Amino acid sequence: MKSFLCVVTVVALGSWSALQGQSGMLSAAEFRKLAASHANVEEHQKLAAHYTAHAIEHEGEARLHEELANQYAKTERLLAAESRHYAAHSREAAEALRELAKLHQELAKEHAGKK
C-alpha cells in the first residue's frame, strides 16, 4: 500500500510540474492583472487558456482520486468514500473552469468583431 501511494504521489507531482510548464498557465500576478483588465482579444484568450489549463489539472486530480478510491476500497472504506467525494468535487471544478474558459473565448470573439 505504501509503495502504491509513493508511486501515485510521484506521478501527481510530475503531472503538476508538467502542467506548470504548459503554455496557458499564468502566474498569480499575471492572472490577477488580466482578470482585472480583460480589455481585448489577447487578454481574453490568455484567460481562456489559463482556465482550460486549470480544468485539465482538476480532471487529472479527479482521475487520480478515483484510482486511489479503488485502491482504498480494498482496505479503507472511509478513505475510499472521501477520495470519491474529492474526485467528484474536482470534476465539478473542472466543469466550472471549462465554462469560464468558454465565456472568455466568446468575449474574445466579441472584441475581435469590434475591430
The yes-or-no verdict on residue 71 having pLDDT over 80 is yes
Q: Give the model confidence (pLDDT) of 8-53 as tens digits.
A: 554 554 454 455 445 689 999 999 999 999 889 999 999 999 999 9
Number of compact structural domains in the chain = 1
Rounded percentage of the chain residues whose pLDDT exceeds 90:
73
Q: What 8-state DSSP symbol labels residue 74?
A: T
- Give pLDDT, residue 22: 56
Mean pLDDT to the nearest integer, 63-77: 97
**Domain, as residue range, for 95:** 2-114
- Give pLDDT, residue 114: 82
Measured in whole angstroms, the distance separating CA 67 from the mean position of its chain's CA atoms is: 17
The Cβ-side half-sphere exposure at 13, using a 13 Å CA radius, reads 6
Q: Residue 55 in contact with residue 115, Cβ under 8 Å?
A: no
